[in-house]
Amino acid sequence: MNNKPTIAVIGAGLGGAAAGALLQQAGYPTKVYEQAPAFSRLGAGIHLGPNVMKVMRRIGIEDKLNTMGSHPDHWFSRNGLTGEYQSRIPLGDFARENYGAAYITVHRGDLHELMVSTLDQENLFFDKRLVDVNDQGGKVRMTFADGTTEEADLVIGADGVNSQIREKLLGSEAPIYSGWVAHRAIISAEKLKAYDLDFEACVKWWSEDRHMMVYFVTGDEKEYYYVTGVPEPEWCHGTSFVDSSQEEMREAFKGYHPTVQALIDCTETVTKWPLLERNPLPLWHDNRLVLLGDACHPMKPHMAQGAAMAIEDAAMLVRCLEEVGAHDYREAFELYRTNRFERASRVQKVSHDNTWLRQDEDPAWVFGYDVFETPLKAPEAVSEESPV
Ligand SMILES: Cc1cc2nc3c(=O)[nH]c(=O)nc-3n(C[C@H](O)[C@H](O)[C@H](O)COP(=O)(O)OP(=O)(O)OC[C@H]3O[C@@H](n4cnc5c(N)ncnc54)[C@H](O)[C@@H]3O)c2cc1C
**What are the residue numbers of the active site?**
47, 215
Contact present, 26 and 1 (Cβ < 8 Å): no
Measure the N-to-C terminal CA separation of the chain; round to a whole number of Å: 47
Taking CA atoms only, the protein residue closest to ligand 1 atom 1 is 182
The residue count of the chain comes to 388
Q: Tell me the per-residue pLDDT of 139-172, one tens digit each, with 9 for 90 and over.
A: 999 999 999 999 999 999 999 999 999 999 999 9
CA of 306 to the centre of ligand 1 (A): 8
Which residue from 145, 153, 141, 51 is spatially nearest to 104, judged by alpha carbons?
51
Q: Tell me the per-residue pLDDT of 176-226, one tens digit each, with 9 for 90 and over.
A: 999 999 999 999 999 999 999 999 999 999 999 999 999 999 999 999 999
pLDDT band at 326 (very low <50, low <70, confident <90, very high): confident
Indicate if the pLDDT at residue 327 is higher than 90. Answer: no
Helix (H, G, I), strand (E, B) or coil at 213: strand
The proportion of the chain whose per-residue pLDDT surpasses 70, expressed as a percent, equals 97
Please report the pLDDT score of residue 385 as a whole number: 47
CA of 160 to the centre of ligand 1 (A): 6
Query: Which ligand 1 atom sits nearest the alpha carbon of residue 309?
Result: 11
Query: Which ligand 1 atom sits nearest the alpha carbon of residue 294?
Result: 26
Please report the pLDDT score of residue 2 as a whole number: 61
Going by their DSSP bridges, the two strands 104-107 and 45-48 should be labelled as: antiparallel
CA of 156 to the centre of ligand 1 (A): 15
Handedness of CA 170, 173, 176, 181 (dihedral sign): positive
Indicate if the pLDDT at residue 62 is higher than 70. Answer: yes
CA of 277 to the centre of ligand 1 (A): 12
- Ligand 1, pocket residues at CB < 6 Å: 10-16, 33-36, 46-47, 128-130, 158-160, 164, 182, 184, 227, 273, 293-295, 301, 304-308, 310
Which residue from 345, 255, 369 is spatially nearest to 296, judged by alpha carbons?
345
Residues whose CB falls within 8 Å of the CB of residue 85, separated by 6 or more in sequence, listed in order: 76, 77, 78, 79
Going by their DSSP bridges, the two strands 289-291 and 154-157 should be labelled as: parallel
Percentage helix, strand, coil for the chain under 3-state DSSP, each rounded to 5? 35, 25, 40
Mutate to test the pocket of ligand 1, among 159, 305, 317 (most ligand atoms within 8 A of CB): 159
CA-CA distance, 355 to 352, in Å (whole number)?
8
Indicate if the pLDDT at residue 325 is higher than 50. Answer: yes
Q: Tell me the per-residue pLDDT of 113-122, one tens digit each, with 9 for 90 and over.
A: 999 999 999 9
Mutate to test the pocket of ligand 1, among 32, 33, 46 (most ligand atoms within 8 A of CB): 46
Q: Tell me the per-residue pLDDT of 245-272, one tens digit each, with 9 for 90 and over.
A: 999 999 999 999 999 999 999 999 999 9
Query: Which ligand 1 atom sits nearest the alpha carbon of residue 227?
Result: 1
Please report the pLDDT score of residue 304 as a whole number: 96
327 or 92, which is more confident: 92
Chain Cα centroid distance, residue 4:
28
Backbone angles phi, psi at 32, to 5 degrees: -115, 130
Contact present, 101 and 95 (Cβ < 8 Å): yes
Q: Tell me the per-residue pLDDT of 331-365, one tens digit each, with 9 for 90 and over.
A: 999 999 999 999 999 999 999 999 999 999 999 99
Please give the angle made by the CA atoms of 172, 176 and 181, to the nearest 5 degrees: 140
Query: Which ligand 1 atom sits nearest the alpha carbon of residue 14?
Result: 25
Contact present, 214 and 204 (Cβ < 8 Å): yes
Please report the pLDDT score of residue 40 as a whole number: 86
Taking CA atoms only, the protein residue closest to ligand 1 atom 27 is 160
Going by their DSSP bridges, the two strands 149-152 and 140-144 should be labelled as: antiparallel
pLDDT band at 239 (very low <50, low <70, confident <90, very high): confident
Q: Which domains does the chain have, with CATH numbers?
A: 7-174+278-381 (3.50.50.60)
Please report the pLDDT score of residue 381 as a whole number: 54
CA-CA distance, 55 to 269, in Å (whole number)?
33
Identity of the residue numbered 205: W
Residues whose CB falls within 8 Å of the CB of residue 143, separated by 6 or more in sequence, listed in order: 130, 131, 132, 133, 134, 149
Q: Which residues pair with 214 in a beta bridge?
A: 203, 226
Q: Tell me the per-residue pLDDT of 87-141, one tens digit each, with 9 for 90 and over.
A: 999 999 999 999 999 999 999 999 999 999 999 999 999 999 999 999 987 899 9
Please report the pLDDT score of residue 41 as a whole number: 86
